[in-house]
Structure 1
Amino acid sequence: MSKSKLSLFFCAILTILVTIVGCEPHTKEVAKHNTWSQYGGSPDQSKFFESPGITKSNVAQMKVLWNYPSGDDRFYFFSPIIVDSTMYVLGKNSSLIAIHAKTGEELWIHTDLPGITRRGINYWESEDKKDKRLLFTLNNSIQAIDADTGKSILDFGAEGYVDLREGLDRDPTSVTRIQSMMPGVIYDDLLILGSAPGEAYFSPPGHIRAYNVVTGKLEWIFHTIPHPGEYGYETWPKNAYKYVGGTNVWSEISVDTERGIAYLPIGSPTYDYYGADRLGSNLFANSLVAVDARTGERIWHYQTVHHDLWDYDLSPAPQLLTVAKDGKKIDAVAIATKHGFVFVFDRVTGKPLFPIEEKPFPKSEMAGEESWPTQPITSLPRFTRQQVTKENLNPFFSDSLRQDWLQRLDSAKSGLYVPPSDTYETIMMPGALGGANYGNTAADPRNGIMYIQTQEYASTYRLNKVEPPKRELTANDVDKVKSLYGSTCIACHGPNMEGGAGPSLKNLGHHMFYEEFRNTVINGKGVMPGLVHVDEASLKALFQFLGGDPERRNFRRGEQQAQPVEGPVVASGGASIPVDAQRGAPMEDYPEDVEHPEIRYTTDYGLDWPGLIDPPWSSILAYDLNSGKIKWRRPIGIDSLYVQGDETKGAPNGTQRKGMVVTSTGIVFATAKGGKVYAFDAENGKVLWETTLSHETNAQPSMFTLDGKEYLVINATSNFRSDSYDHSKKPGAIPKGYVVYGIPERK
């Protein structure tokens, strides 16, 4: 073959390969795992780290080397990132702080950032390293701070911020909540960002967007609820994009940087438990979607739940691994789910690597509802139980409580994909907080092993009609609010609202505006989960019950001063946003030109019975995706349960808000309830090292190398729950803050 023909031949092959991948050629290297400058370690979210210095033979020597106190009594879910010798943390009255990663010395402090992304930030630097930026969301905006100086970059966006409420098929002034609690992911000069718009009726849509990290310009948008003419539009009612919300990525987006493919784990559409106004399979809800990271164009997708009625979001990070199957090495992407399944696909084509079968499930009996007749069931082993039965009830229940539950199960329905109803109780296993959740997956990308943290937590549901909002509290309203408080708040805030594990709520409404209250309840705070399914009327009634006036507006919010912060303060408050002049009422009804059901239904999370079945409730497991088998499984965390008469309280939240780090030397570091930190042998699950923090952790741990030495960083800034021992009261307890572990130098 001549040189010219050979050249044409290779050009043709390159064109074919680019067409198959669905992306433009890309020269970026494969994601490296020797730094922790991104949440999850690297853009692939594997939580994998090259750590030659900490091995199975010396990990038992790990000690606290230094700690950085967070500086106040708040909870921080923040996951530190480390760039060169600088660590970035959140503390001191919601301040972003740069500290030296070896000593904890404060380098700069940017104070007064309440509303900043709760779980982490993004870092970007130019090729010449002259421009270094920290990017984050703050009060529904994107902002940038100079990573070296700590000062706001005011030529980013419009006067230092980008308004995230724009471009969402809604009146921007009606969008009260859109920013995600998670950081986005950096790809080249793009910040790819999800959202957390809420899961109530008429919440904004969770379209995925990418912004230029230097200018703040919106570069692309992927409509998770398709517009007319777009792929998947026919899987919804006509004009559903005008009123359906959610369908968002509120957790971790993974990127194959070599191929330029972003993998989106998309969540449920609104409303989660009743979908009469969104009949159809509802693409791209509950789907793993592969898009061109440069353009946002869809490459392939797979929907793991059709017409979701169970809040089975795809919340953990998709894991990018290389697996050995049928004598071949295949680059794969795997996703674990809330309801205990693992789906594995060819990373480029989307072809399932293990069989998936559509199987029939019960039909909804709700008026106007049309549940999807089948659901996809993978051939891989399930990693959670999926039904509450008389045989697996909690053996620690008192005799009278057990009898109550035996009778309750006779009239209730439990099992996979049982549709919620207003005539009977549905007991879902796992429920809204069960299975694998955000932060609960990690991988060794080289050998096809995925690690999953999971919890066995049922939810109990019964649908109720959505009542029109009332301005004045009636006696019936008060009873409902007391019931809501008793089922969701009393454990932490006490029977008289005087506090306990959580703060006192006495006269809360007198010193808090409704907007702040609403965001706190919906987003959650500390160990309190977000109550995203409480309707607006109930939220306002609860606020009134606590002494507040929902109509009182905070017109001077931007002028309020935070408590003084000591240290090298370089700036305060971020970029100034004139938000008060742009706020309107949230969307509360369907557009006039849209057909819709006359009656809507709602329910709460149904989290009253966390210890409903027999333990263990929280586990970590190694899933071998080469063979399709669970390699090992171990219980983790302090899952306590105590009985007082007929009142039983359990707490299987052993993996909620926890995380892992997987090392190249075959160690899996994992955090769990009760301040527990483990080092497991990645091969067999043997515990190699174990310690207990002085405070609870609710964040992803991080790892870094400095001057040839490896360090493990854990955010320990939360209070222990009332059913855990309070280790902060022990002599020598470390103050709330960021704890750095390593192997001490030999003397």
Structure 2
Amino acid sequence: MSTTKFTSTSRPISTMLIILATILGCRNHSNVVAEHITWSHYGGSPDQSKFFESPSITKSNVEQMELLWSYPSGDDRFYFFSPIIVDSTMYVLGKNSSLIAINAKTGEELWIHADLPGITRRGINYWESEDKKSKRLLFTLNNSIQAIDAVTGKSVMDFGNNGYVDLREGLDRDPTSITRIQPMMPGVIYENLLILGSAPGEAYFSPPGHVRAYNVVTGKMEWIFHTIPHPGEYGYETWPKDAYKYVGGANVWSEISVDTERGIAFLPIGSPTYDYYGADRLGSNLFANSLVALDAKTGERLWHYQTVHHDLWDYDLSPAPQLLTVDKDGKKVDAVAIATKHGFVFVFDRVTGEPLFPIEEKPFPKSEMPGEESWPTQPITSLPSFTRHEVTKENLNPYFSDSLRQDWLKRLDSAKTGLYVPPSDKYETIMMPGALGGANYGNTAADPRNGMMYIMTQEYASTYRLSKVEPPKNELTENDVDKVKSLYGSSCIACHGSNMEGGAGPSLKNLGHHMYYEEFRNTVINGKGVMPGLVHVDEASLKALFRYIGGDPERRSFRRSNQQAESVDGPVVASGGVTIPPDLKRGAPMQDYPEGVEQPEDQYTTDYGLDWPGLIDPPWSSIVAYDLNEGTIKWRRPIGIDSLYAQGGETKGAPNGTQRKGMVITSTGIVFATAKGGKVYALDAENGDVLWETTLSHETNAQPSMFTLDGKEYLVINATSNFRSDSYDHSKKPGAVAKGYLVYGIPDKK
């Protein structure tokens, strides 16, 4: 089965693309430099390469790096936010969910737009007009898109409908049934367009993850790409009839990369719902789990490649597609490379979509679940894998106690493990890597000039066992108390503590008094921050759990609007964003198949099985450098420090677990990388040797940034997370720096 496909239009698009490639050729060095001298996007530039022109920080002087100044964040709710820097202004998320503009040289606050609860926490978008007279920050907030003037900090009221765009509209579903659609990530700016993904959740009947582009000036939706095709569209036949009416997901929840010269947007599309059981979506399921190249101006599909057919393992395409020039068979080829959760790298000609390295469809085990039809083959690239694919008795964690080791030996006797083993209700499946293994969002970077791609990966297994979904109860009983305690003990206690006073996660003590059930339900089902969504929890148990933390499910919520935020000192210029009308409130989510649609007899679910980040022997986390000119792994460097399994010291290559880390690649051949235990490294891009390292006072879970000011380069790190129980708490050391945004550089000579 051929999986690289071009659009079927009346014009000869393939020929046109090849001619375009010949005319443009590969990008010259001056173009590469021009795109990578600022950090106004999440990944630095629209190509999301995390590559930066940094002539003043070199391999010979990087060891002089010091903390120059820091900006305190106020609390720990912003640990995923990645700052962007424009000219001499840095934009951060801080105290009381406020967007804050600060002087990038001194840390002085310029303005504060306070009180934006519900804002996408991983980053924002910046846009400016060609004449630079109009400058905007665009972000999503409570299922809306809003814009703030980047100079004044005030809401742009002529954007959209009185200052907002309703993201629930335009998806061919009842808008009131969409409980969450706003993306986790900030999207990408291309010319006057904001190209946006979504995070609709992973439950049955979640909304579809169609990708949309909005005009940054007017807020008008300019185009939509149906990731779950509608009748008459390419790929519709890869689903059951009318699947687009009830299947959800197939969304871009991570980084969209754009080739700005050619106007091509590259979408890393995720899994369809439900992730682990697909009896209601038989077929290969385009465009789920696909790298899709679109005309960035129109949304027209140019080509695609599906990396997993009929996904049953939550193997989203999570990291940014990397755009780089490779020397292939003596010719310079502009390529796009995508790394996957399950440890593979696929590389294509950026314009034509032709694979640059062979890919073979190989057979894998058949599902035994009723009604399920797993796809008989899956694509395997000839490039070396960067993860292991099996948990065995021989590679179990050597630091396990004897009793724990014996327990796992017994589990392995009855479980199945290996690449593409379908989940089952008859036995446990142990997937390596699992839902959070391999490469995830923010975990890829590249030097676009020389064909080098860098992947941050972790060896993290998931353990699955399907169970039948039972009808929800209409009333709570006394027995539900035991069920809730069991749910809390299995899914919450590790982060929130036995007494609900917190630990790695925040305190839940009397949290129900301070939030509404709607927000609580959304958080538990869809996940938030490092917390994965618990899609298997029924409504009755959710309400019981909410009462368990002091809440009242019947208490109605309301939307605060434009009121002065409390406890925010400084130059507050606005508060609360724009007023969102009551009709934007969420209604009841879709709970069943549309009338007349064929459906399986039962539904099955499983949790994410994330209890064992260090199940196999170390290293658990590494940076892998791929030479895509040769198709080889050039070097591998374990990163991070973990104390959970250490004997007589600390262990390198620590499991990140649900934490997120990032990289910056410099033009001088340095890889800056963050890692577990508050570690920051400067590695030699040629061989992975450590040139400099430091340990932060708090953990970091955001993408680092770089910027240039007055001819000098600076590295910015968001260090606002608590250390987990399996790491040493460096915040207790004398001289620890407060939680906040840290700016490193080479100090001026005195």
TM-score (norm 1): 0.94
What amino acid sits opposite 1:616 in the alignment? P
What amino acid sits opposite 2:141 in the alignment? L
SS of aligned partner of 1:403 = helix
Counterpart position of 1:268: 271
**Structure 2 CA distance for aligned equivalents of residues 197 and 613 of structure 1:** 32
Q: 2:494 aligns with which of 481, 491, 500?
A: 491
Counterpart position of 1:550: 553
**Structure 2 CA distance for aligned equivalents of residues 125 and 158 of structure 1:** 21
SS of aligned partner of 1:219 = strand
Task: Measure how far apart 1:494 and its partner are.
Answer: 1.2
**Structure 1 CA distance for aligned equivalents of residues 673 and 539 of structure 2:** 37
**Structure 1 CA distance for aligned equivalents of residues 559 and 131 of structure 2:** 42
**Structure 1 CA distance for aligned equivalents of residues 351 and 558 of structure 2:** 51
1:618–1:639 contact (8 Å) kept in structure 2 = no
What amino acid sits opposite 1:598 in the alignment? E
TM-aligned CA distance change 1:284 to 1:14, over 3 Å? closer
Counterpart position of 1:147: 150
Counterpart position of 2:473: 470
Counterpart position of 1:602: 605
**Structure 2 CA distance for aligned equivalents of residues 23 and 365 of structure 1:** 49
Q: Deviations over 1:507-539 (max 9, x none)?
A: 322332112112333454454344455455543
The alignment-based identity, stated in percent, is 87
Counterpart position of 1:425: 428
1:455–1:655 contact (8 Å) kept in structure 2 = no
2:664–2:672 contact (8 Å) kept in structure 1 = yes
What amino acid sits opposite 1:415 in the alignment? G
Tell me the matched-pair count. Answer: 731
**Structure 2 CA distance for aligned equivalents of residues 587 and 97 of structure 1:** 37
Counterpart position of 2:713: 710
TM-aligned CA distance change 1:51 to 1:200, over 3 Å? same
Q: 2:378 aligns with which of 375, 378, 394?
A: 375
Q: Deviations over 1:585-611 (max 9, x none)?
A: 110111112111121000100111221
SS of aligned partner of 2:213 = strand
Greater CA drift, 490-499 or 111-120: 490-499
**Structure 2 CA distance for aligned equivalents of residues 675 and 126 of structure 1:** 39
**Structure 2 CA distance for aligned equivalents of residues 651 and 442 of structure 1:** 20
Counterpart position of 2:193: 190
Is 2:609 aligned against 1:623? no
SS of aligned partner of 2:642 = coil
Counterpart position of 2:170: 167
Counterpart position of 2:331: 328
Greater CA drift, 73-82 or 158-167: 73-82
Is 2:112 aligned against 1:109? yes
**Structure 1 CA distance for aligned equivalents of residues 282 and 553 of structure 2:** 34
Is 2:73 aligned against 1:70? yes
SS of aligned partner of 1:705 = strand
Counterpart position of 2:8: none
Is 2:565 aligned against 1:568? no
**Gap runs ≥5 in structure 1:** 1-11, 645-649
**Structure 2 CA distance for aligned equivalents of residues 29 and 629 of structure 1:** 27
SS of aligned partner of 1:609 = coil
Task: Measure how far apart 1:400 and its partner are.
Answer: 1.7
**Structure 1 CA distance for aligned equivalents of residues 564 and 496 of structure 2:** 27
Q: Deviations over 1:625-681 (max 9, x none)?
A: 11111100011111332499xxxxx97116841100000000000001111000000
1:76–1:91 contact (8 Å) kept in structure 2 = no
Is 2:411 aligned against 1:408? yes
Task: Measure how far apart 1:396 and its partner are.
Answer: 1.3
**Structure 2 CA distance for aligned equivalents of residues 32 and 559 of structure 1:** 37
TM-aligned CA distance change 1:367 to 1:651, over 3 Å? farther
Task: Measure how far apart 1:72 and its partner are.
Answer: 2.9
Counterpart position of 1:4: none
Task: Measure how far apart 1:402 and its partner are.
Answer: 1.2
**Structure 1 CA distance for aligned equivalents of residues 437 and 186 of structure 2:** 23
SS of aligned partner of 1:96 = strand
Counterpart position of 1:222: 225
2:89–2:104 contact (8 Å) kept in structure 1 = yes
2:166–2:584 contact (8 Å) kept in structure 1 = no
Counterpart position of 2:180: 177
**Within 5 A, what are the aligned runs for 1:57-456?**
57-456=60-459
**Structure 2 CA distance for aligned equivalents of residues 560 and 361 of structure 1:** 58
TM-aligned CA distance change 1:655 to 1:523, over 3 Å? closer
Task: Measure how far apart 1:496 and its partner are.
Answer: 2.3
**Gap runs ≥5 in structure 2:** 1-10, 648-652
What amino acid sits opposite 2:67 in the alignment? V
What amino acid sits opposite 2:389 in the alignment? Q
**Structure 1 CA distance for aligned equivalents of residues 742 and 193 of structure 2:** 32
**Structure 2 CA distance for aligned equivalents of residues 357 and 236 of structure 1:** 23
Q: 1:742 aligns with which of 734, 740, 745?
A: 745
2:205–2:592 contact (8 Å) kept in structure 1 = yes
Q: Deviations over 1:281-339 (max 9, x none)?
A: 00000000000000000000000000000000000000001001111111000000000
1:655–1:673 contact (8 Å) kept in structure 2 = no
Counterpart position of 1:9: none
TM-aligned CA distance change 1:536 to 1:703, over 3 Å? farther
SS of aligned partner of 1:165 = coil
**Structure 2 CA distance for aligned equivalents of residues 323 and 533 of structure 1:** 45
1:488–1:608 contact (8 Å) kept in structure 2 = no
What amino acid sits opposite 1:583 in the alignment? R
TM-aligned CA distance change 1:109 to 1:616, over 3 Å? same
1:393–1:612 contact (8 Å) kept in structure 2 = yes
Task: Measure how far apart 1:546 and its partner are.
Answer: 2.7
TM-aligned CA distance change 1:540 to 1:375, over 3 Å? farther
Is 2:704 aligned against 1:697? no
Counterpart position of 1:3: none
What amino acid sits opposite 1:310 in the alignment? W
Task: Measure how far apart 1:113 and its partner are.
Answer: 0.5
Task: Measure how far apart 1:119 and its partner are.
Answer: 0.5
What amino acid sits opposite 2:407 in the alignment? D
Task: Measure how far apart 1:540 and its partner are.
Answer: 3.4
2:560–2:576 contact (8 Å) kept in structure 1 = no
2:429–2:465 contact (8 Å) kept in structure 1 = yes
**Structure 2 CA distance for aligned equivalents of residues 595 and 651 of structure 1:** 47
Q: 2:691 aligns with which of 684, 688, 692?
A: 688
Task: Measure how far apart 1:62 and its partner are.
Answer: 0.1
Q: 1:679 aligns with which of 664, 677, 682?
A: 682
Task: Measure how far apart 1:163 and its partner are.
Answer: 0.2
TM-aligned CA distance change 1:45 to 1:165, over 3 Å? same
TM-score (norm 2): 0.94
2:78–2:93 contact (8 Å) kept in structure 1 = no
TM-aligned CA distance change 1:190 to 1:356, over 3 Å? same
